[in-house]
A and B are shown apart, each in its own frame.
Chain A
């Protein structure tokens, strides 16, 4: 992340993913849903970047566009030296083993008519010419790695619990020894007591296999636990990208601040004392985002400039990128207000 750091494994530059809207009798192209609108970040090898935001902010779309499950509208996605966004079909197929995905809903992402062995060995089927025995051996090895009993190898997905199904999904993602895994809300569908099991497994695997994660989640406390750096997204753009410890100690972007203050702490004493920032209204439609800053319709600190000019994601403190006029010279009163805010943050 700083100059001294090694080249990142994953670099995303100005990624855009627009979904066209066709209307009328002639299905004319009348607009775009700007699900992802110019997102840039990078991830150092062996680290985890948390991508947080509310539903509809485009965080899952970023993950999918990065692995080219969607065709990105614009931008570069360099993973381990290759620009995935522009690879030809054949080159992309060869590239797939290095980048994998763990999906949110283990119920929906596993074929109910395939056994565990078939599910986990399907990637091997596609990308290797191993014999049956070699493949089965690898399946067993993966089952050990993710903590599934070898006896379950011929069972079907419905015979497993939610947590076990997610382990199958993880085993499948690991089958081809990837370097980079997009975890798209992997624990959202699981019970609290099971979530910790899966998160610990992901951490163990990262340590053992040197994996790099993009961890997409709306669970801010879990992201704090897992990620070294966190990107907060709002309406298709990154509002703040900071090292995890800085973000949680003192969020700079007003949206990041509101989002963190909305998280419920399991502590009644704290809950009674805390001053929450309650945002008014709902997220605008990504088909018709506000003209200026995407957050200007709900921002408690909105200024005139926010309604006309989109702020760029700039480094305002070492390692901390924020897209907000409060922190740039352009926001006339920005500097003083920002200082005030910082002091408040430190007081707490």
Chain B
């Protein structure tokens, strides 16, 4: 039922390397994923796992040098983003693909009014006149729940709170009706009650507009609430991929399993001792020749030191469609509820 042709975005074997004085850092190692229309893909990983670099590479947002995209394809509606000219790419950024960054304080320009910043993509990409763009900007601010939109257009970013600024960022990203919205830790800098507001907003916008979303975060709690599918990254590669319920109910990779156990819960029995993942994340100074998680893994055996595991499906579906994991160790089967 899942034909790859139906994907809005299809990324294959993406590889990004940073050239530094201390040698090469292999930040993204053969990452493949796809995104269907209207779907929300969660990308989870800790800092340095390559989740942001992957998404920035797609739109070639990383300064080069030091960044160097070594290989792979990123097909947006069939056209390869990585093979486009700068000119073509400019017509994609902000128009076909919207980007919301983590920190709403630094991603808005403090010396321009909000109106200016929302209208800019509209006038550039959609070739709207000033007054058309203004009307649309008011609509957008209404859409993201900012009251008194017409007057707000003439205000500057410092006159808005953090949550409001993130709403504005979302409005800008949505301005040109993108096919794909990439949100890089959009709620991390916000307080929980404001975070809850933004999450509700995104759910509502998805219902209304139906665009596909990639949501990058380190917070498994956020992912649990909004994602359809989840991709767990570690050491610059995808270590596990599954539909959201399947991932939380039946995690396969030792990293995912441990991660779920290190977080204390707010309901249920109180934890007496937190489970710890010993050690540090790997430093990716060369191509991976062994499993990047092996030094911290409790199930490590000989093969882990010799071969970097590739993704294997565990539910019979092709890799990338259902549940797959990049690990040599086979998790003990759990008591399967009979397949419905």
Residues of A within 8 A of B (CB): 54-55, 161, 163, 191-197, 199-200, 203, 218, 220-222, 224-225, 244-245, 248, 258-271, 276, 278-279, 282
Contact-residue size bin, chain B (C-beta under 8 Å from the other chain):
35 or more
Give CA–CA (A342, B191) in the complex, Å: 26
B230-261 CB contact bits vs A (8 Å, 1 = yes)? 00000000000000110010000000001110
**Chain B 269-287 interface residues, beta-carbon cutoff 8 Å to A:** 270-271, 273-278, 280-281
Give CA–CA (A279, B195) in the complex, Å: 10
The secondary-structure label for the interface of chain A is helix
Query: How many whole Å from A107's CB to the nearest CB in chain B?
Result: 13
Residues of B within 8 A of A (CB): 46-47, 161, 163-164, 191-197, 199-200, 218-225, 244-245, 248, 258-260, 262-267, 270-271, 273-278, 280-281, 296
CB-CB under 8 A from B275, the residues of chain A are 196
Give CA–CA (A218, B163) in the complex, Å: 16
Given contacts A192-B46, A263-B192, A263-B221, 7 further A-B contacts (CB under 8 A): A54-B194, A55-B191, A193-B46, A265-B266, A265-B267, A268-B225, A270-B267
B274 touches A225 (CB 8 A): yes
Partner of B274, one of A196, A220, A276: A196
B259 touches A276 (CB 8 A): no
Residue of B nearest to A267 (CB): B224
Closest 7 pairs between A and B when the two form their complex, measured CB to CB: A264-B221, A54-B191, A225-B264, A191-B46, A266-B220, A262-B196, A271-B225
A269 touches B245 (CB 8 A): yes
Listed by A's residue number, 23 A-B pairs whose Cβ atoms lie within 8 Å are A54-B193, A191-B47, A192-B259, A192-B262, A193-B259, A193-B262, A193-B277, A193-B296, A195-B262, A197-B276, A221-B264, A221-B266, A225-B264, A263-B192, A263-B266, A264-B222, A264-B225, A265-B265, A266-B265, A267-B265, A271-B225, A278-B200, A279-B196
CB-CB under 8 A from A259, the residues of chain B are 192-193
Give CA–CA (A197, B281) in the complex, Å: 13
Give CA–CA (A72, B280) in the complex, Å: 41
Query: How many whole Å from A298's CB to the nearest CB in chain B?
Result: 8
CB-CB under 8 A from B265, the residues of chain A are 221, 224, 265-267
